[in-house]
Structure 1
Amino acid sequence: MTQDTFINGIWSVGKGSKFDSISPSDGTVVGSYHAADAKQVEDAIASARKAFDKWSLTAQTEREAVLVKYAAALEERKQAIADAISLDMGKPKWEAITEAGAMVAKIAGSITAQSDRAGSWTKETDFGAISLTHRPFGVMAVFGPFNFPGHLPNGHIVPALLAGNTIVFKPSELAPSVANLMVEAFEEAGLPHGCVNVVHGGRDTGQALLNGDINGLLFTGSHHTGTAFHRHFAGRPDVMLALEMGGNNPLIVHKTDDVAGAAEVIFQSAFITTGQRCTCARRLILPTGQQGDDILAAVIEKIDAVKIGPWDGEDVYLGPLVSAKAVAQALAFQNERVALGGKLITPLRDMVENTGIVRPGIIDMTDADTPPDEELFGPFLQVYRESNLDKAIAIANDTRFGLSAGVVTSDDDVWEYTQARLRVGILNRNRPTTGASGAMPFGGPGLSGNARPSAYYAADYCAWPQARQIG
């Protein structure tokens, strides 16, 4: 039986309902778990609370040393981590090992960010000494997503630990197994017991964690869930909320000299990770006329040529969606837009029954009724044809979200004009919308978050500043 609850350094069996991790590559069960019940969640929070008393007072250099050892332990487990990610959520081999590598790299970047954005200093002034330091919040609940089940929660957990917080981590029930490997690495690194606790489960486990005595919630996921969390903590400014909630991301192509290059940027923006990145392009604004037609044709050629299949298939570039349910949701999303008058250019379709394996789709929405402003987490691109740049920008900004956007252009003036007018947190030129740097903030306005960007800026929401004056 799986030991699936980790509290104060001890593994035990969850006392809640049983659930399975289903491989979207072939529909087989790859792991069985028991959710933590409300009492176990309460115990995990109490364990983190007790550990906080000592960990928060541990010297910064000592905390860093533990996290450096954690990086080494992750490095030793890279292949096992990659295999766990692939089995749970279908990420192809090449991409899963890339995610495992990103988990290792996160530690050095987070140490630098902690010093840069949340460090300490002292200055002498005419009125005495002044100093600034940063203090941890306490017990942080971390909710992990399925699409990057190792890298994204790791991106919350590592900065939080560096700042002196302690953690209760609830992995996604769709991709749970990498969390146990992370715990192994923390144990090998010598992280004191209670500093990281793991409770597996779904909605009930998550609700128990929300209702618990926590000081912060660090979340990556859909805006539906994130806004529900925001409502839950209404009137609770004492709880730090860091919410990263996706986007309905636009990509504008205007005055480019490179049709093939534009098609490559579009393909990678819309379809990498089978469209399961919050920064994937969901809406493409192409010029009318022959060049726009040529670019679309080139993108379709790429769809036809790409290797799609199970995570362990030979040379597979696009793996499955996370579940057969996700396929049904994607098909319903496509059908809704057809009903609104959208014209299918190439349909998204189910390739292997009872799996998540799909062929990417494209639909022209130029003359259709306005669709709901929602994000589909899948490989489906909505196209708008518009040659007027101001109108293209208006289409791009016509969303409640604001995470990422891209501009494909050979004209520097077009870039200068658009970058000053697009309302997004991550903006790229002539490269995929999914390209994000760990040395930069990650987040955006609107329903994409609550002004708590992660990545390099995660240090900001993991500690509060304390200003000191000494007479």
Structure 2
Amino acid sequence: MSEHSQTAPTQPGLYLNGAWQAGLGPHFVSEDPASGAVVFAAHAATPPQVEDAVAAARAAFPAWARMDRAARIAILEAYGRALQSRATALAEAISRDMGKALWESTAEVAAMVGKIAISVRAYDERTGARSEGAAFGRTALDHRPWGVMAVLGPFNFPGHLPNGHIVPALLAGNSVVFKPSELAPSVAVLMVEAFEEAGLPPGVLNVVMGARATGAALLGATGIDGVLFTGSATTGTAIHAMFAGRPEVILALEMGGNNPLIIWDPADPEAAADLIVHSSFITSGQRCSCARRLILPEGRFGDQVLEATLARIERMVLGSWNADPAPFIGPVIHAAQAARVGQFEAALKALGGKSVVEARIGVEGPAFVRPGLIDMTGASEAEDEELFAPFAQIFRVKTFEQAIMRANATRFGLSSGLVSDDPALWQEATLSLRAGLINWNRPTTGASSALPFGGPGLSGDGRPSAYYAADYCAYPVARQEADVAARLSAPGL
């Protein structure tokens, strides 16, 4: 616990039936990782309080599900306007909690606002309703909400990513219990304010604050119909195992990736270096779509790309979210994660990896990490895991076929990319790369809300989010209709 925590004002830890109230569980704090200042403090919701939140969502569900869809859309559109009016406060809350530069948090808030219209369009295209005539009347397709959705938010995009579950879930007619990350909870309070201003009925959205125990209580609560999760493969796999044998609970799990970026001649080495830096190090490497493995050809071209990349790392500006001039990246989420980078780097060296540039830890502050690169060509195979930090491995290969094989040598399958001016290589990459997102001459982190977001392997459970969130927020109902009962005949009757 920080020395600041005793003086931080304690916030309510439970939003239940349209009102905040004190949590009765352990005290927790969220600190600005750049300064160590406490920016949020609360008592966590206890397991009985979590059960109350689920019960409130269950009680509110029938009326919300039966509400005319146009009325639900109107409330969500009003929510979007309320978010926009709080854009500055939201961006600052995100940056204070998790440390990302203010320009990045501002873009995150814009994505939250834009999610409303995109979700309405996605629902109509992916689900919606239709009917047509048939031989004995009509056939119709409709979609219905599942019920109570448990949404578990991550720290790296504490507004945009849970918002990307909550908005489609509410639009479809579900009610929600939201547990924000205890590392970045402040934005949830502002989201609730926006929903209240928009006129969301009490109980349709409930919020439970807290750490791991609160999340476990939500997952174990009686009456949840779905779990919408964004986070690590370790936690996502544990959730998947927890609900084994319970097909009545729908799971949508996005679990990150150990993502490859292939850089191949012909390409401009300077432009390639820009794409490497944006792919691997933006948000201090704390995006699940960051490139963790850089694959380059042997020879002069690969050397030029690395030289240009090193120059960018050396001049990269690190700093607090509100520093002037604006930094490219801030700290990682906390000092313990920064220390983990050093441990990870040492383990790779023990396997035979050779540092191209060592990660510099703690120079600007305990949670800051200046990006590092390590060449693993010819080294023993490292554990296939996602390190949430500005650190990447390099592999040099002789042929493009070897590059594809190296890119696919992972249990994950979220994002991937190719930097090359050769359309034939891009065509081969689109056919061969095993990933849900494939990028050509763009950063691997450039996800679009108007496209699905997810991938095979440990990156998820086959229910991609973003534009495809509509798929897991409602189930299809096939109807066959006739205005009057018809007499039927059949052989033997």
Q: Could you tell me how far 1:353 is from its partner in structure 2? A: 7.1
- Counterpart selection for 1:174 from 173, 183, 191: 183
Q: Could you tell me how far 1:12 is from its partner in structure 2? A: 0.6
Distance 2:96 2:49 in 1: 27
Q: Secondary structure at the match of 2:432?
A: coil
Contact 2:177 2:206 in 1 (8 A): yes
Residue type matched to 1:462 in 2? C
- Counterpart selection for 1:459 from 470, 478, 481: 470
Whether 2:65 is the aligned partner of 1:56: answer yes
Q: Could you tell me how far 1:168 is from its partner in structure 2? A: 0.3
Distance 2:267 2:144 in 1: 52
Distance 1:159 1:389 in 2: 40
Q: Relative to structure 2, which stretch is displaced further, 187-196 or 30-39?
A: 30-39
Q: 1:415 to 1:392 in 2, by over 3 A?
A: same
The gaps in structure 1 that reach 5 residues or longer are none
Distance 1:389 1:353 in 2: 39
- Counterpart selection for 1:36 from 45, 49, 52: 45
CA RMSD of aligned residues (A): 0.9
Describe the superposition over 1:316-362 as per-residue Cα deviations: whole angstroms up to 9, x where unpaired: 11111011011011111111101111000001121347632110000
Contact 2:33 2:331 in 1 (8 A): yes
Identical residues among aligned pairs (%):
56
Aligned length: 471
Whether 2:230 is the aligned partner of 1:223: answer no
Contact 2:319 2:364 in 1 (8 A): no
Distance 1:198 1:355 in 2: 31
Distance 2:77 2:267 in 1: 46
- Counterpart selection for 1:374 from 385, 393, 398: 385
Q: Could you tell me how far 1:182 is from its partner in structure 2? A: 0.2
- Counterpart selection for 1:285 from 291, 295, 307: 295
Describe the superposition over 1:244-270 as per-residue Cα deviations: whole angstroms up to 9, x where unpaired: 000000011122231111111111100
Residue type matched to 1:300 in 2? L
Written as runs of structure 1 = structure 2, the 5 A alignment for 1:23-422 is 23-212=32-221, 213-314=223-324, 315-352=326-363, 355-422=366-433
Residue type matched to 2:402 in 1? K
Counterpart in the other structure of 1:16: 25
Q: Secondary structure at the match of 2:412?
A: coil
Contact 2:180 2:188 in 1 (8 A): yes
Residue type matched to 2:406 in 1? I
Describe the superposition over 1:431-462 as per-residue Cα deviations: whole angstroms up to 9, x where unpaired: 10001111110000000000000000000000
Q: Could you tell me how far 1:69 is from its partner in structure 2? A: 0.1
Describe the superposition over 1:75-119 as per-residue Cα deviations: whole angstroms up to 9, x where unpaired: 001110111111110011100111111110111100110111110
Contact 2:13 2:210 in 1 (8 A): no
Distance 2:477 2:165 in 1: 22
Counterpart in the other structure of 2:440: 429
The gaps in structure 2 that reach 5 residues or longer are 1-9, 483-493
Distance 2:365 2:415 in 1: 32
TM value normalised by structure 1: 0.99
Contact 1:256 1:262 in 2 (8 A): no
Contact 1:223 1:447 in 2 (8 A): yes
Distance 2:344 2:336 in 1: 12
Contact 1:83 1:93 in 2 (8 A): yes
Contact 1:91 1:319 in 2 (8 A): yes
Contact 2:267 2:419 in 1 (8 A): no
Residue type matched to 1:351 in 2? G
Residue type matched to 2:87 in 1? K
Contact 1:9 1:193 in 2 (8 A): yes
Indicate the structure (1 or 2) with the bigger Cα radius of gyration: 2
Residue type matched to 1:175 in 2? A
Q: 1:322 to 1:30 in 2, by over 3 A?
A: same
Distance 1:441 1:159 in 2: 13
Residue type matched to 1:330 in 2? V
Contact 1:274 1:320 in 2 (8 A): yes
Residue type matched to 2:123 in 1? Q
Q: Secondary structure at the match of 1:256?
A: coil
Contact 1:27 1:354 in 2 (8 A): no
Describe the superposition over 1:146-196 as per-residue Cα deviations: whole angstroms up to 9, x where unpaired: 000000000000000000000000000000110000000000000000010
Q: Secondary structure at the match of 2:281?
A: helix
Residue type matched to 1:285 in 2? I
Q: Could you tell me how far 1:128 is from its partner in structure 2? A: 2.2
Counterpart in the other structure of 1:3: 12
Q: Could you tell me how far 1:210 is from its partner in structure 2? A: 0.7
Q: Relative to structure 2, which stretch is displaced further, 310-319 or 49-58?
A: 310-319
Q: Could you tell me how far 1:28 is from its partner in structure 2? A: 1.7
